[in-house]
Amino acid sequence: MSLSEEQAASLSAETVVVAAGRPARRRDEPVNPPLVLSSTYFGTGPLSDGDRGYGRYSNPTWDPFEEALGQLEGATLPGLLYASGLAAASSALSLVPAQGVLVMPTHSYAGSLVMATELAEKGFLELRTVDITDTDAVLAQLAPAGGKAASMLWLESPTNPMLGVADIRALTAAAHQAGAVVVTDNTFSTPLVQQPLSLGSDVVLHSVTKYLSGHSDVVLGALVTSDAGLRATLLHHRTIHGGIAGPFEAWLALRGLRTLALRIERSQASAAVLAERLSTHPRVGSVRFPGLATDPGHERARAQMRGFGSVLCIEVSPVEGQHGGLSGADAADRMIRALRLWLPATSLGGVESLIERRRRHVAEPASVPDNLVRMSVGIENVEDLWADLERALATLDG
Ligand SMILES: Cc1ncc(COP(=O)(O)O)c(C=O)c1O
């Protein structure tokens, strides 16, 4: 372990992303952890806890990333890497007992919602979806009078793609009172912007695919907890269900993590500038971004985040004119096709700015407006990003 728990706690997160997860300081040790490609390990005697044994149980290339992520989230234990964010979600959902109640945001990431819905349809659990920004509504679902109390509260804040902000502290406290375990998807914020464990959550989930690795070149997920019992259960699930990370992906993710602080600093600042400018653009009906003082989640975000993230959403206005004009969705598609710098692609959190109309995904719920465009702001020059947007929006004028 290159940084002790105490050292990591005394350093700023900007330093921990660089210093954590390094090999021991011994003469001629490499300064970066090596990539270990082996599906098995030498051994003769009976396997016990801590033995590497086999490539599905452990890999030395996972360890430094897991250590660094655990320290960044303020956990007392290393994180657990998975093959994808959804492999991590599947492991987290395994904590719900048979026929237990899962309370989940109506606007969670669509893949997590599909997974939970399918489990509910098979009768494995009872799913209650709720507007996560409405604290009273969530409380009512956690412990309904005369009804079954929840086994798990799933939080995502800000939500993907509606950017709704949950009161994580109040909801986790109520969930614990009801006897539920709380899992928070922290993909949009990263531990540099929000630390759900310090707000009371039991387990933090990441799509490492996004900001943590940061270059749109790997698919990975992770869970982090300070609860040894929960971690053992999750580790067992990962080992037996096999949703493990490839060593090369893990190595790339740590390489990406080294620049997380710089990337977040730049992309958050640019997102704030773009949100302000878009909010007064005549072709934009509304902007969702918790950093705007007018956003319904602004005060909550200020209370529990260090910054507001770098994803924002706009609703493109319909265009009136000859031949019936354009619906908001068609106007959004035309604007996106006219962009030259922003990349029309799904996903988020990479160095490059990505944009997409979310309802092009059939799994996206109909409550997401069909003209809603999600923008993941990268680290390019903000004036170049703005010029591209302005020019593309101007193509709707005539
Ligand atoms: C908030 C959030 N959680 C989880 C996931 C799933 O992650 P992955 O695509 O790595 O499986 C995504 C993917 O977009 C996401 O945006």
Q: Quick one: which atom of ligand 1 is closest to the CA of 188?
A: 1
- Tell me if residue 370 is catalytic: no
**Percent of the chain surpassing pLDDT 70:** 100
Name which residue sits closest to atom 14 of ligand 1, judged by CA. Answer: 347
pLDDT (mean) for 95-107: 97
- Tell me if residue 330 is catalytic: no
Provide the pLDDT confidence category of residue 372 given band limits of 50, 70 and 90. very high
Say what the pTM is: 0.97
Lining residues, ligand 1, CB within 6 Å: 84-86, 109, 111-112, 156, 160, 185, 187-188, 207, 209, 219, 221
| pLDDT of residue 1 exceeding 70 | no
Q: What is the pLDDT of residues 259-313, one digit of tens each?
A: 999 999 999 999 999 999 999 999 999 999 999 999 999 999 999 999 999 999 9
Q: Residue 311 and residue 308: Cα distance in Å, rounded?
A: 9
* Residue that has been written with the tokens 């069909």 in this structure: 370
Which amino acid makes up residue 269? Answer: A
Q: Which residue out of 109, 128, 211, 330 is catalytically annotated?
A: 109
Q: Quick one: which atom of ligand 1 is closest to the CA of 112?
A: 4
Residues of the chain within CATH 3.40.640.10 domain(s) are 5-257
Name which residue sits closest to atom 11 of ligand 1, judged by CA. Answer: 85
- Tell me if residue 185 is catalytic: yes
Residues of the chain within CATH 3.90.1150.10 domain(s) are 261-394
Beta carbons of 224 and 197 less than 8 angstroms apart = yes
- Tell me if residue 41 is catalytic: no
Of residues 143, 147, 146, 142, the one with CA closest to residue 105? 142
What pLDDT does residue 169 have? 98
* Residue that has been written with the tokens 């804040």 in this structure: 157
Provide the pLDDT confidence category of residue 386 given band limits of 50, 70 and 90. very high
Q: What is the pLDDT of residues 183-226, one digit of tens each?
A: 999 999 999 999 999 999 999 999 999 999 999 999 999 999 99
| Cβ neighbours of 50 (radius 10 Å) | 7
| pLDDT of residue 114 exceeding 70 | yes
CATH of domain 5-257: 3.40.640.10
| pLDDT of residue 323 exceeding 90 | no
pLDDT (mean) for 149-156: 98
pLDDT (mean) for 15-41: 97
Please report which residue ranges of the chain form alpha helices under DSSP H. Answer: 5-10, 13-19, 62-72, 85-93, 110-121, 135-142, 168-178, 190-193, 228-241, 247-257, 260-278, 298-304, 328-338, 382-394
Provide the pLDDT confidence category of residue 363 given band limits of 50, 70 and 90. confident
Of residues 180, 128, 134, 127, the one with CA closest to residue 157? 134
Q: What is the pLDDT of residues 48-71, one digit of tens each?
A: 888 999 999 999 999 999 999 999
Residue 205's contacts (CB-CB under 8 Å, 6 or more residues apart) are: 85, 88, 89, 92, 183, 184, 185, 186, 187, 221, 222, 223
355 — phi, psi (to 5°)?
Answer: -145, 140
Q: What's the whole-number average pLDDT of the chain?
A: 97
| CATH class of the domain defined by 261-394 | alpha beta
Q: Residue 286 and residue 77: Cα distance in Å, rounded?
A: 42
